[in-house]
Amino acid sequence: MMLRFREDTGQPLSVHQWGSIKLARTEEDEPQLREEIDRGHALGVEVGPIDPATARAMVPWLVADRALAMWYAPGDLFLDPADLPRAYAAALANEGGRIIEHAEVTGFHISGRAVEAVQTTLGTVEAPVVVSAAGAWSRKVGELVGARLPLWPIRHQLLITEPLKEVADGQPSVRIMDAKTYVRPERGGLLFGGYEPDPLQIDLRAQPPSFDISDTPIDEGPLRRKLAEVAEEMPLLQEAPIAEVRGGLPTMTPDGHFIVDRLPDVDGFFVLTGCNVGGLSTSPALGDDLAEWIVGGHRPAALEPFGLGRFGSEYDDEDRLREACFATYAHKYDQGETVAH
Ligand SMILES: Cc1cc2nc3c(=O)[nH]c(=O)nc-3n(C[C@H](O)[C@H](O)[C@H](O)COP(=O)(O)OP(=O)(O)OC[C@H]3O[C@@H](n4cnc5c(N)ncnc54)[C@H](O)[C@@H]3O)c2cc1C
């Protein structure tokens, strides 16, 4: 969908289809990596095993000699994250849609059991259908209609180095499974991110209303520890000057899958959340399927796994929910984890 974005929406979207490499260093990860190749083939994805020399030829700063197995997927792509919502917003405006910026949703008008309007700080908007895609604030917005959404916002961070002479546009991204890290070229340097074993969790219901994602406390320490874990594979990164560290609050669910559903008790009210750090790459497909549900009246089969009903009452217990979401984050890339970061 990203590759044919202009065709579908009339808006340009700049994507970098530089491919990606995934590397297994442990005996536990090796079979999973091979399984992913089979799974990719079953889905028609171009992906296959490569050896260290081939990897090195594509990514000169990668020392892959210790790898037990690697795959390469030439079709993988990335984009500047802000470009995607910007392009969708422009496409919406083109179709006569209107975006009301800086309007905080403060409540909903419900008649009987159906939603009728959204109350905001800039006025009330009549709406027989509402989709709450409030990210880290999803629980807070859900509570406005009495819904309890099983997720937790967790800090995710990355760093970008100053330009490095060994790095060039076109080099694939690299993920190292057991270290739960990813690296790719960015602004002439390298962008490096990783899943911390003890990530910071933030309950936005307990934060002041003025809290913005940019208020997320940033800590270089966990990223430095992640860098050390891949010192052998990426010696270049160890001493590279850091230009920027940034982070945000993706929402984790107990099973690592999205929440895309209609609330059982409020007609016309849909939720789209629980991104599990994969919300950017999957949002076009999820949005498309959700639109099909709203317009056609039937839930597409592809959305069936993401219903709220799959969570048992055990997650009514706040500590249990928090622990489960924490574990989902800390075990990213492990067996059974299917969401691209
Ligand atoms: C460092 C980092 C790296 C990442 N890398 C990737 C990646 O490689 N691939 C990938 O797919 N994903 C990645 N992600 C995750 C991706 O950014 C998220 O999945 C995505 O932003 C989630 O989108 P969202 O719409 O659910 O939430 P958000 O983008 O957080 O949007 C929620 C919006 O709701 C608004 N809102 C909240 N409450 C209210 C209210 N009461 N009234 C009105 N508006 C409200 C907020 O202001 C916000 O604009 C990364 C995230 C981080 C932090």
* Confidence band for 338, pLDDT divided at 50, 70 and 90: very low
**What are the φ and ψ backbone dihedral angles of 151, each rounded to 5 degrees?**
-155, 165
Cβ pair 173, 21 in contact under 8 A: yes
111 domain residue, yes or no: no
User: Does 337 fall in a domain?
Assistant: no
CATH number at residue 47: 3.30.9.10
CATH at residue 298 = 3.50.50.60
257 and 273 together in one domain = yes
Residues 162 and 234 both lie in one domain: yes
Pick from 196, 217, 249: which residue ends a domain?
A: 249
Q: Are both 48 and 183 inside the same structural domain?
A: yes
Regarding the beta carbon of 137 and ligand 1, being less than 6 Å apart is answered yes
274 lines ligand 1 (CB under 6 A): no
Range of the domain at 133: 127-152+253-330
341: Cβ below 6 Å to ligand 1? yes
**Which residue's CA is the closest to the ligand 1 atom numbered 53?**
248
Same domain, 259 and 308: yes
| 117 is a domain residue | no
To test the pocket of ligand 1, the residue of 275, 329, 337, 339 to mutate (highest count of ligand atoms within 8 Å of its CB) is: 275
Domain final position from 249, 281, 310 = 249
* Cβ neighbours of 91 (radius 10 Å): 17
- Domain-located, residue 34: yes
As a whole number, the mean pLDDT across the chain is: 95
Query: 173 with 244, same domain?
Result: yes
Boundary residue ending a domain (249, 271, 291) = 249
pLDDT digits (tens, 9 = 90+) for 110-157: 999 999 999 999 999 999 999 999 999 999 999 999 999 999 999 999
> Tokens 């067996």 sit at which residue?
335
Inside any domain, residue 297: yes
Verify that 195 and 61 share a domain, yes or no: yes
Does residue 94 lie within any of the structural domains? no
Higher model confidence: residue 198 or residue 307? 307
Q: Is 142 in the pocket of ligand 1 (CB under 6 A)?
A: no
**What's the rounded Cα separation, in Å, for the pair 6 and 138?**
30
As a whole number of angstroms, the longest Cα–Cα distance in the chain is 66
Cβ 135 under 6 angstroms from ligand 1: yes
Nearest Cα residue to 158 out of 191, 188, 184:
191
In sequence order, what DSSP letters do the residues of 268-324 get, joined into one string? TEEEEE--TT-HHHHHHHHHHHHHHHHHHSS--GGGGGG-GGGS-GGGGSHHHHHHH
Number of domains, the chain: 2
In a domain, 302, yes or no: yes
Mark whether 159 and 234 lie in a shared domain: yes
Whether the CB of 199 sits within 6 Å of ligand 1: no
For residues 163 and 233, state if they share a domain.
yes
Ligand 1 pocket residue status of 80, Cβ below 6 Å: no
| 69, 159: one domain | yes
Q: Is 250 in the pocket of ligand 1 (CB under 6 A)?
A: yes
Give me ligand 1 centre to Cα 194, in Å.
17
Pocket residue to mutate for ligand 1, from 79, 137, 154, 218, most atoms within 8 A of Cβ? 137
Summarised one tens digit per residue, pLDDT across range 166-224 is 999 999 999 999 999 999 999 999 999 999 999 999 988 889 988 999 999 999 999 99
> Is it the case that residue 339 has pLDDT exceeding 70?
no
pLDDT above 90 coverage of the chain, percent: 94
Strand ranges inside 50-144, DSSP E: 69-73, 78-79, 105-111, 114-120, 123-126, 130-132
63, part of any domain: yes
Q: Does one domain contain both 160 and 245?
A: yes
Going by alpha carbons, the residue nearest to atom 19 of ligand 1 is: 279
State how far the Cα of 117 lies from the Cα of 127, in Å rounded to an integer: 5
| Judgement on whether residues 261 and 182 belong to the same structural domain of the protein | no
